[in-house]
Each structure stands twice: as C-alpha cells, then as structure tokens.
Chain A
Amino acid sequence: SQQGEEDPQALSIQEGENATMNCSYKTSINNLQWYRQNSGRGLVHLILIRSNEREKHSGRLRVTLDTSKKSSSLLITASRAADTASYFCATDALTGAGNMLTFGGGTRLMVKP
C-alpha cells in the first residue's frame, strides 16, 4: 500500500531552473527518504531525513520535512539535463518493523537543455 504521494506527477523545466517536488504521507514516520530512478534502471538513494530534522542539504539537493503536515519537499537547484529522471519519496513508518520503506508513485522530472 502506498504511504507517500508525490506531487506533481510530472514536471518539465528548463536547464538552470529549480525543481520542487512534494511528498505527502499518512502515518507517523521514523524517517523519510528520496530516491532517483533513471529510465529503465534501479532506484538510487539520494537523501534521508529523520523525523526530528526539518531540513537537510546534499550538494544541489535540499529536503524539508514538516511532520505536523505530514509532508516533505525535494528541491533541486540549478537543474541540469542529467537530472531528468523519476523521483520517489519513501517513508519508514514509526509503527513498522525494522527498516521497511513504503514508496510513493513518483514525480517524473524532465529538464530541457
């Protein structure tokens, strides 16, 4: 069952612009993670933010987490054509057992050169 829902489902921007993707979830979480998937390939882990953190940075990526609204956002700054991919949020539910993630449906990002 899907816990996280990404918004928008698809996003098209020009190279150099910023891309923002949002994720909403339903139950309390231990952490939230973002993954990238290039077409026809496996997912790659980008960043993990714990429930007691509000913001995290990794290179051109900025993730925020608002546990009161049960939402997160992923910002990619100064986008490049190579950022074209699908992006998924995944949540580790607080009541779950062990390291179990539930993935959302993803946002398809296209960055035009």
Chain B
Amino acid sequence: DVKVTQSSRYLVKRTGEKVFLECVQDMDHENMFWYRQDPGLGLRLIYFSYDVKMKEKGDIPEGYSVSREKKERFSLILESASTNQTSMYLCASSLLPRDYGYTFGSGTRLTVV
C-alpha cells in the first residue's frame, strides 16, 4: 500500500526552537508538498518541490524553509518556532503529470509554547 509517512503525530516545542518536520513517501512521486491547516482557514500551501533539490514557495512561506536532498524525503524547517506556527501540518505527494490525486500523510499536530 502506497504511503506518505510523517515522522511525528504530535509535537510540542518551545518558542525560538528550530523544528524539523520530516515526510517520506515510498511511491517514487516527483511532487511533494507541505500544507498547514487551521480552523476557518482551510489548507494553505507553505512550500512544494517538483524534484530533488528543487523548491518553490507556496502561499505562506514566511518563517519556514524546506529541504529535499532525496526524492523520497521532504523536510519542513521552522527556523525559530513561534506560537502562531501552532497548527496541523500536512505533507502530500503526487506524480508530476496532471490528473493525479495527492496522497497525504496523517499529519503532525505541532504546538509551540
């Protein structure tokens, strides 16, 4: 069964900490995405990647960076965590061509205190 795995389901971090959220997919997908989901705001795209070492900003990249050193792994980095980054973070992957759905991970609920 194809899978997108996010390293943590729940995470609690302190303000100012550097936080790494890891995502691994086993489907050889070219595209990988990071979203955050907040009540009333839906899913908002933070960053995405079409290929190894390639990254593009989404709608809300401020305060975040990403790394894609291998095709199967896409990491989201909070350089200095702040309380307004408390959220549900969702990783997804897909094939490059259009007309393919996304496969999502189970999500990481991050709380910054």
Residues of A within 8 A of B (CB): 1-2, 30-31, 33, 35, 40-45, 48, 50, 88, 90, 92, 98-106
Give chain B's interface residue range (CB within 8 Å of chain A).
Answer: 20 to 34
- Count: A-B pairs, CB below 8 Å: 64
Chain B's closest residue to A38 (CB) is B106
Q: Are B107 and A31 in contact (CB under 8 A)?
A: no
Q: Are B59 and A1 in contact (CB under 8 A)?
A: yes
Q: Are A42 and B105 in contact (CB under 8 A)?
A: yes
**B104 interfacial by beta-carbon distance below 8 Å:** yes
Residues of B within 8 A of A (CB): 4, 31, 35, 40-43, 45, 48, 50, 59, 88, 90, 92, 94-107, 109
Q: Are A42 and B98 in contact (CB under 8 A)?
A: no
A42: min CB distance to chain B, Å: 4
